[in-house]
């Protein structure tokens, strides 16, 4: 069955620390991968996506993600986090046009 799993449910780190959130997917065939962020009280926003091409994808707000096909992974990274990066982060995948499946989410708390 198709699935998306996120390794950490809760991450707490200090400002300027580096962040890496793990995501693994289980899909056969072509897969489209996304990272969404949900700031407190706000809507889900697209951080970045991978469809094809360069497996290292750069997104908004200094985030990047690397697609590693052999590991079925799409980990999210940011070299130096800020307090404003406190949010819920969702990895998501689709293998068709629009049926998006989300991982369980990772709550990230950045302390000043």
Which residues make up the interface to other proteins (CB under 8 A)? 30, 32, 34, 36, 42-46, 49, 51-52, 90, 94, 96-105
Nearer to other proteins by C-beta: 45 or 82? 45
Cα radius of gyration (the chain): 13
Least distance to other proteins, CB of residue 52, Å: 8
- Distance separating alpha carbons of residues 43 and 66, to the nearest angstrom: 24
Least distance to other proteins, CB of residue 90, Å: 6
H helices present in the chain, as ranges: none
Nearer to other proteins by C-beta: 1 or 112? 1
CA distances from 59 to 1, 12, 56 (A): 29, 22, 10
* CB distance 74 to 6 below 8 Å: no
Nearer to other proteins by C-beta: 98 or 112? 98
Least distance to other proteins, CB of residue 101, Å: 8
Least distance to other proteins, CB of residue 82, Å: 21
């Amino acid at each position: 069955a198709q699935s998306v799993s996120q390794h950490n449910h809760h991450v707490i780190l200090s400002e300027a620390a580096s962040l890496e959130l793990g995501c693994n997917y289980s899909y056969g065939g072509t897969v489209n991968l996304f990272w969404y962020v949900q700031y407190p009280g706000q809507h889900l926003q697209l951080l970045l996506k991978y469809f094809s091409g360069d497996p290292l994808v750069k997104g908004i707000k200094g985030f990047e993600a690397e697609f590693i096909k052999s590991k079925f992974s799409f980990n999210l990274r940011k070299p130096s986090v800020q307090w404003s990066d406190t949010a819920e982060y969702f990895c998501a995948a689709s293998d068709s046009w629009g049926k998006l499946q989300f991982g369980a989410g990772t709550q990230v708390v950045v302390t000043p």
